[in-house]
Structure 1
């Protein structure tokens, strides 16, 4: 059984949600970053941490990829063009969505107050909106990012869009709003978010 360390109000939600979608049993320890039991597995103090057979795996995207590959679901096979496209979309989402939201969070409450640049958030919102316009031209026509099949980038995109709404970053593309509504109604998402 897996152990997931991290509150569902963090990137840990991505991992909890994937485990729910895969139907895999896990134990959840809802620790905050730098909280008790986190630093011993991740010296950076970041969550999530997945423990598998006594070995910690850190970074939500690495964990998602590991779980998808290990269980042969929610991913395309390594070495295929579909996997290359999936990985490209994953990297785009991390670079353009996750990075903008994380930088805004750092300048809102993570960094010491004297190091924060409040005005940077306007630039980040602009970049976030521009990235949405790019993304809608890259995603498939089906229900999911890759089209008809749910894959790793779906967990990242739905989490980032949820995070964006909390951070008051507008989701301006109607396709992304509809997508987020569908993802947030999934039973596995609802179970993970309730933790």
Structure 2
């Protein structure tokens, strides 16, 4: 039984989604950032953390990479060209799409008001939109970014798509990126994850 420490409507969603895809049991401690429950295992106060036996892992992408590698699913083997291409999609999702969303969030409610730069959110939305255009060019003919195989970067990208809705960033209303996000939301594991997220609120 895995344990996720972190309130569900956060990057913990990525870990939950992957565990649903893996059909692995887990429990959730809905700790908020910088709460005692999370700082006890992660001094930075960031969520989520994953408890696996006596080990604690932090950072959602690292956690998901570990889980996919451990269970041998939703990833290509390390040292292969496919894995390098997969990792490139993951890095793109984190650098470009999540980067824009996280910068906007920090300047909306994360940082103290005296440190926020609200004007930067316009740039964040433009960078996010440009990133989606690039994603559309990268998608190719397969249903997922790695073709027929659903992999970890699909989870990261799908989470960014949902985050964008919450942050009121524009998403395509048709076309390949729209269809891609729609396919991700249709996966049974995604729906199971969202049911648990909603139940926790």
Q: Same fold (TM over 0.5)?
A: yes
Where do 1:45-194 residues align within 5 Å? 45-172=45-172, 174-194=175-195
Scaled by the length of structure 1, the TM-score of the pair is: 0.96
After TM superposition, which residue ranges in structure 1, 4 or more long, deviate above 3 angstroms? none
CA contact (8 A) 1:3 1:51 kept: yes
CA contact (8 A) 1:57 1:63 kept: yes
- Taking a change above 3 Å as real, the CA distance of residues 20 and 98 of structure 1, as seen in their structure-2 partners, is same
CA shift for structure 1 position 20: 0.5
CA distance in 1, matches of 2:35, 2:138: 38
Structure 2: stretches of 5+ with no match in the other structure? 197-201
CA contact (8 A) 2:69 2:75 kept: yes
CA contact (8 A) 1:8 1:193 kept: no
Match of 2:199 in 1: none
CA shift for structure 1 position 122: 0.5
CA distance in 2, matches of 1:65, 1:75: 8
CA contact (8 A) 2:158 2:181 kept: yes
Match of 1:38 in 2: 38
Scaled by the length of structure 2, the TM-score of the pair is: 0.93
CA contact (8 A) 2:135 2:177 kept: no
Question: Number of paired residues?
Answer: 195
CA distance in 1, matches of 2:193, 2:123: 32
CA distance in 1, matches of 2:145, 2:31: 30
Structure 1: stretches of 5+ with no match in the other structure? none
The two structures, once aligned, show a CA RMSD in angstroms of 1.1
Deviations 1:72-110 (A, max 9, x none): 000001010000000011101100001110000000001
CA contact (8 A) 2:21 2:189 kept: yes
